[in-house]
């Protein structure tokens, strides 16, 4: 593992001839480049030399950081040539470049090119968390020479803000890798892996000339919407602005943004007290967002959750309109900063503000984040302050600490509270690892005005031991197995046990490129203090969960994904087992066209749903899903996507309960009605790329939700979901990015 103090490699200045990004590696163009040949296996993570010869060149030019790959791919190894959409998740032949422009291990930018010249780009934060919502403007090309395919890419210096550096050079950190789609083998330089606790910190430092670029980009848009259900028509127009006068300052702004309809969120039926987290794909909110990353070990938690902005209005009348938003990113000296502001329209609209400061040191970095939200309609103002510290004392240790405080004034009442988390990973010899996590969130901690936290009022700790096996015999169908054992405990501030758990899991990679995941959870007796929404904590018996997942990449014309679960829960514990099964086959009509049809079936024999007050209903529920779609890429610039999701759920009442003294469930005769849920989401989206980050969209969408008295036939219920028509819209949107 490389040392944090590894001397940076020095890249020569670019030759007189500029890089022509055509996929053909011209020796004259790449003269003086850093030549990399020592690619080592990271999937499986054994550090052995690459099975297939791979080499790369890295060169700093005035136009940007240029990287080329030469990939030997003999005919004996199947080659994946399927077209994939941007930010794809398919296992195909591809190469990756990740750049940490400040070299401090906080934020990396991932640039992936498939052998078909399709791309994926993402922002990497918190060492190894990838967010593919961001889309950048960069150059790439692929050339095919039979048993060799080559890639060239050019990442402009203006793609990210970079703090100033003394002298005529700056130090970046980079990572290169190649993935063979048929086998899943990944080879990388340096020997860094996102399967380890440290990833960004293990990149190779390189010293490059301190090039700088300025950029002014304006992206106006116009859109027209026809609503068939309401018989209305609506037009809209606005613009996004991106300005970078130098490497130390970037400004992003938007006026009258139109953020809807071109993306579709997955359908979710959620009767729990915990809000569903949804990622944000809106361009303004993904651009230069890495600086605002402030997360905790609690799932999806973050201090700035941008889906709040333009979300449901405080008066409950649909989604809020956004007047304008602005974001500043930059650095002064060794300190990086970010400023964010957004205002919603009308007297109901909210105002959002955020400040971020980050300072890097040799083995650690320190950050401060402040968010503030004004909500005049409900007379509420919320301020949250967070301090984060990342410490890498040795190559084996990675320690992350977070301190959070909230101050909320609501209708004349002020509430203040705090939270803290510590996350420590230790890499040992022989594939062994240990992890410790401790979290405290006070019952008055409130960060969800601007951020996201699944629950407060929680004290949690776990200890995990892991062992990775990569020296399996050639006769084994597996190339690696990763076992994990965890014990955890969770309590609220009243001392109630929320859950004590033992978990055992195994992640395996097969020689044919498939993957398997198995997990067993054994849960203690516990209480659910959220179910009754503050009207008591219901006692629940012990339970267990067995989960299995299998994914097989494309072989011939088919790819497969399978999930299965067997579980106890609710008031029945393990006495009545629930189950679920999800299977999605994908058929490839051609490399450019594929069709998938997935199905889900599940049975929850003891499903608990809040009925109001301290009344809880226990239901026997059955659920069916259809998840189908088509993806067609007739050319490099065109994409047609069809997406259909439908859910049918019926819930038959077993018994009503009230939360009694000490959380005991007391059976009552209060009326608890059987019910059904039907929901539909359907979208046809055509996208034509006019120029980088310039698109024409034509989108048809239809959807609906219904909750009704019980149907006797769940199959009829699913079929009737297709008749829902709460919304039916046709949208045409044109946006064009002008760069100056």
Asked whether the beta carbons of 307 and 449 are under 8 A apart, the reply is: no
Report, as an integer, the average pLDDT of 263-291. 85
What is the reported pLDDT for 3?
A: 36
Rounded-to-integer distance, Cα 291 and Cα 244, Å: 16
Asked whether the beta carbons of 207 and 171 are under 8 A apart, the reply is: yes
Rounded-to-integer distance, Cα 359 and Cα 366, Å: 5
SS3 (DSSP) at 320: coil
Six-digit token string for 178: 């190649």
Chain centre to alpha carbon of residue 162: 24
SS3 (DSSP) at 307: helix
SS3 (DSSP) at 730: strand
How do the residues of the chain divide into helix, strand and coil, expressed in percent and rounded to 5?
5, 60, 40
Rounded-to-integer distance, Cα 360 and Cα 366, Å: 6
Strands 186-189 and 148-155: unpaired
Asked whether the beta carbons of 110 and 128 are under 8 A apart, the reply is: no
Rounded-to-integer distance, Cα 23 and Cα 71, Å: 12
Residue 507 has pLDDT above 80, yes or no: yes
- Per-residue CA distances from 20 to 145, 148, 378 (Å): 18, 19, 57
Residue with tokens 């994409």: 639
Q: How confident is the model at residue 711 (pLDDT cuts 50, 70, 90)?
A: low
Residue 718 has pLDDT above 80, yes or no: no
Say if pTM beats, i.e. exceeds, 0.85: yes
Q: What is the pLDDT of residues 367-399, one digit of tens each?
A: 999 999 999 999 999 999 999 999 999 989 999
What is the reported pLDDT for 197?
A: 86
Q: What is the pLDDT of residues 483-503, one digit of tens each?
A: 999 999 999 999 999 999 999
Residue 310 has pLDDT above 80, yes or no: yes
* Gap between the terminal Cα atoms of the chain: 43
What is the reported pLDDT for 261?
A: 56
Report, as an integer, the average pLDDT of 625-639. 94
Report, as an integer, the average pLDDT of 583-611. 97
Please report, to the nearest 10 degrees, the dihedral formed by the alpha carbons of residues 536, 538, 539, 543 taken in order.
-150
Could you tell me the domains of the chain?
9-211 (2.60.40.1190), 214-259+275-454 (no CATH), 530-740 (no CATH)
What is the reported pLDDT for 7?
A: 65
Six-digit token string for 513: 């490129």
What is the reported pLDDT for 636?
A: 87
Report, as an integer, the average pLDDT of 599-618. 97
Report, as an integer, the average pLDDT of 571-586. 97
Residue 708 has pLDDT above 70, yes or no: yes
Q: What is the pLDDT of residues 173-228, one digit of tens each?
A: 999 999 999 999 999 999 999 999 899 999 999 999 999 899 999 999 999 999 99
Q: How confident is the model at residue 259 (pLDDT cuts 50, 70, 90)?
A: low
DSSP letter string over 525-569?
Answer: SEEESTTTTTS--EEE--EEEEEEEEEEEEETTEEEEEEEEEEEE
How many C-beta atoms lie closer than 10 Å to residue 137's C-beta? 18
- Per-residue CA distances from 123 to 130, 288, 501, 684 (Å): 6, 9, 33, 28
Largest CA distance in the chain: 86
Collect all residues with Cβ–Cβ distance below 8 Å to 641 and sequence separation of at least 6. Answer: 85, 629, 630, 631, 632, 683, 684, 685, 686, 687
User: pLDDT exceeding 90 applies to what percent of the chain?
Assistant: 79
Report, as an integer, the average pLDDT of 151-163. 92
What is the reported pLDDT for 106?
A: 87
Q: What is the pLDDT of residues 21-42, one digit of tens each?
A: 999 999 999 999 999 999 999 9
Q: What is the pLDDT of residues 345-362, one digit of tens each?
A: 989 999 999 999 999 888
Rounded-to-integer distance, Cα 273 and Cα 536, Å: 13
Report, as an integer, the average pLDDT of 263-290. 84
Q: What is the mean pLDDT of the chain?
A: 93
Residue with the larger pLDDT of the pair 445 and 332: 445
User: pLDDT exceeding 70 applies to what percent of the chain?
Assistant: 97
Q: How confident is the model at residue 4 (pLDDT cuts 50, 70, 90)?
A: very low
143-152, 329-338, 456-465, 674-683, range with the lowest pLDDT: 329-338
What is the reported pLDDT for 578?
A: 97
Q: Which pairs with CB-CB distance under 8 Å and at least 24 residues apart come from 497-500?
A: 497/524, 497/525, 497/526, 497/527, 498/458, 498/526, 498/527, 498/528, 498/529, 499/523, 499/524, 499/526, 500/524, 500/526
- Taking alpha carbons only, the member of 99, 102, 245, 248 closest to residue 170 is 102
Q: How confident is the model at residue 17 (pLDDT cuts 50, 70, 90)?
A: low
What is the reported pLDDT for 714?
A: 60
Residue 5 has pLDDT above 50, yes or no: no
- Taking alpha carbons only, the member of 149, 134, 168 closest to residue 60 is 168
Give the total residue count for the chain: 740
Rounded-to-integer distance, Cα 655 and Cα 607, Å: 11
Cα angle 326, 330, 333; round to 5: 155
What is the reported pLDDT for 15?
A: 62
Q: How confident is the model at residue 715 (pLDDT cuts 50, 70, 90)?
A: low
Asked whether the beta carbons of 589 and 596 are under 8 A apart, the reply is: no
- Is 634 buried (19+), middle (13-18) or exposed (0-12) by CB count in 10 A? exposed
Rounded-to-integer distance, Cα 732 and Cα 698, Å: 5
């Amino acid at each position: 593992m490389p040392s944090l103090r590894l001397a940076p490699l020095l890249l020569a200045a670019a030759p007189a001839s500029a890089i022509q990004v055509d996929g053909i590696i011209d020796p004259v163009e790449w003269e003086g480049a850093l030549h990399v040949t020592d690619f080592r296996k990271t999937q499986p993570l054994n550090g052995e030399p690459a099975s297939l010869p791979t080499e790369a060149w890295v060169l700093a030019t005035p136009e940007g950081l240029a990287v080329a790959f030469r990939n030997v791919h003999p005919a004996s190894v199947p080659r994946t040539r399927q077209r994939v959409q941007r930010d794809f998740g398919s296992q195909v032949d591809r190469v990756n470049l990740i750049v940490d422009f400040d070299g401090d291990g906080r934020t990396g930018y991932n640039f992936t090119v498939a052998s078909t010249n399709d791309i994926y780009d993402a922002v990497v934060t918190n060492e190894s968390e990838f967010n593919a919502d961001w889309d950048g403007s960069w150059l790439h090309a692929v050339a095919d020479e039979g048993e060799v395919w080559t890639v060239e890419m050019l990442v402009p210096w203006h793609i990210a803000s970079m703090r100033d550096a003394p002298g005529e050079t700056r130090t970046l950190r980079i990572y290169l890798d190649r993935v063979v789609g048929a086998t899943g083998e990944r080879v990388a330089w340096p020997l860094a892996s996102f399967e380890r606790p440290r990833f960004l910190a293990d990149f190779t430092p390189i010293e490059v000339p301190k090039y700088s670029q300025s950029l002014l980009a304006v992206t106006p848009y116009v859109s027209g919407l026809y609503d068939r259900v309401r018989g209305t028509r609506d037009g809209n127009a606005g613009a996004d602005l991106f300005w970078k006068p130098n490497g130390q300052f970037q400004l992003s702004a938007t006026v009258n943004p139109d953020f809807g309809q071109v993306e579709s969120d997955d359908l979710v039926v959620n009767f729990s007290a915990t809000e569903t987290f949804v990622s944000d794909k809106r361009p303004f909110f993904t651009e230069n967002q890495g600086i605002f990353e402030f997360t905790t070990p609690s799932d999806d938690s973050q201090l700035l959750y941008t889906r709040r902005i333009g979300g449901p209005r405080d008066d409950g009348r649909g989604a809020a309109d956004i007047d304008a938003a602005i974001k500043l990113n930059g650095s002064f000296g060794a300190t990086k900063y970010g400023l964010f502001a957004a205002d919603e329209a009308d007297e109901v609209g909210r105002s959002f503000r955020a400040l971020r400061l980050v300072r890097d040191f040799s083995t650690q970095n320190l950050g401060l984040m402040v968010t503030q939200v004004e909500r005049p309609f409900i007379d509420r103002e919320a301020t949250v302050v967070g301090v984060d510290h990342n410490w890498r004392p040795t190559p084996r240790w990675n320690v992350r600490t977070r301190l959070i405080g909230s101050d909320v004034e609501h209708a004349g009442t002020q509430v203040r509270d705090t939270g803290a988390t510590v996350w420590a990973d230790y890499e040992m010899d022989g594939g062994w690892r240990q992890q410790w996590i401790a979290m405290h969130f006070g019952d008055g901690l409130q960060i969800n005005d601007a951020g996201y936290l699944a629950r407060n009022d929680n004290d949690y700790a776990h200890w995990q031991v892991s062992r990775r096996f990569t020296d399996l015999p050639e006769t084994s169908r597996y190339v690696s197995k990763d076992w994990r054992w965890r014990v955890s405990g969770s309590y609220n501030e009243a001392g109630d046990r929320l859950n004590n758990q033992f978990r055992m899991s195994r992640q395996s990679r097969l020689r044919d490129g498939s993957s398997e995941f198995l997990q067993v959870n054994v849960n203690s007796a516990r209480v659910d203090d959220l179910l009754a929404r503050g009207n008591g904590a219901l006692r629940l018996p012990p339970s267990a969960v067995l989960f299995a997942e299998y994914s097989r990449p494309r072989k011939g014309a088919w790819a497969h994904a399978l999930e299965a679960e067997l579980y106890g829960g609710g008031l029945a514990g393990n006495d009545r087992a629930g189950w679920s099964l999800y299977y999605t086959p994908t058929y490839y009509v051609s490399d450019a066209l594929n069709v998938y049809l997935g199905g889900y079936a599940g049975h929850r024999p003891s499903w608990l749903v809040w009925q109001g007050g301290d009344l809880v209903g226990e239901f026997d529920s059955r659920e069916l899903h259809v998840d189908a779609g088509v993806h067609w890429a007739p050319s490099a610039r065109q994409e047609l996507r069809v997406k259909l999701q439908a859910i049918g759920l019926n819930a038959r009442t077993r018994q009503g309960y009230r939360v009694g003294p000490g959380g005991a469930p007391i059976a009552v005769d209060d009326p608890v009605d059987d019910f059904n849920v039907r929901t539909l989401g359907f979208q046809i989206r055509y996208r034509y790329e006019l120029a980088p980050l310039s698109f024409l969209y034509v989108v048809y969408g239809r959807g609906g939700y219904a909750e009704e008295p019980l149907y006797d036939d769940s199959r009829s219920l699913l079929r009737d979901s297709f008749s829902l028509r709460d919304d039916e819209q046709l949208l045409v949107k044109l946006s064009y990015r002008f760069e100056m």
